[in-house]
Amino acid sequence: ESIGIGPDGRAYTTGTGCQVYRINLTSNAAEQFASTEARCLGSAVDADHNLYVAHTGGNVLKITPDAVTSVYATGPGGANFNCTNYPAFDKQGNMYLSDSGDWSGTINGMLYKIKPGGGEAQQWYPHAVDTPNAIALDADEKYLYFVETFGNAIVRVAINDDGSAGELERVVHMPRHIPDGIAFDSEGRLWIACHRPDAIYYFDLKSRRLELF
């Protein structure tokens, strides 16, 4: 689940059996270098090659290149998150985190923010959101984009100058699709991977066109 790319160009991903893999994209060789107590979902890599994974055990884990694993962040008050799904860093080292909720159909997902260095998360967007999945910041860090899986949409929340959450806006609606992952390219297009159907799209924010890749 998920692909995180480090500063050296190596990729990281996780398996459904709690495996953590490191991949050399030049040689196409992979190694399992760590494992976790529960399955991990989204991941992000910092400039020192440390991997941060959304751990479904209820927290965010930090895994060093030599596989030393520690808890990087917990929910408010030290509590467990409901379904830790995807982390993303901004340029100041703040981590944004999606918590998908309980997947019951009740809108109880959350968007959190964690200060540089980790610790207890704080609820960033003040309202519950619908099954937030993968997240991504645009290049200018004006918006936090997230996948609204059960809402069949890609949504963004404005990032105010003081770092607080602004207005929420649905950017593209995808009826009869279950979007799962997102990433920006160097041209500012948003790439969308779907759980169903098995398809990848890209969305041009300027023209508002959604194209099948």
In tens, the pLDDT along 43-62 reads 999 999 999 999 999 999 99
| Mean pLDDT score, 82-94 | 97
Handedness of CA 173, 177, 181, 186 (dihedral sign): negative
Contacts of 80 (CB under 8 A, 6+ apart): 57, 58, 59, 74
| Model confidence pLDDT, tens digit, residues 173-196 | 999 999 999 999 999 999 999 999
When the pLDDT of each residue in the chain is averaged and rounded to a whole number, the result is: 96
Pairwise CA distance, residues 98 & 182, whole Å: 13
Pairwise CA distance, residues 182 & 176, whole Å: 18
User: Which residues in 27-129 belong to E strands, given as ranges?
Assistant: 29-35, 40-45, 51-55, 59-63, 69-74, 84-89, 95-99, 110-114, 119-120, 122-123
* pTM for this prediction: 0.96
User: How far does CA 83 lie from the centroid of its chain?
Assistant: 12
Pairwise CA distance, residues 80 & 133, whole Å: 17
CA distances from 29 to 36, 41, 48, 67 (A): 21, 21, 21, 18
Burial class (CB in 10 A: 0-12, 13-18, 19+), 175: exposed
Tell me what pLDDT residue 185 has: 96
CA atoms within 13 A on the CB side of 175: 0
Tell me what pLDDT residue 148 has: 97
Tell me what pLDDT residue 1 has: 87
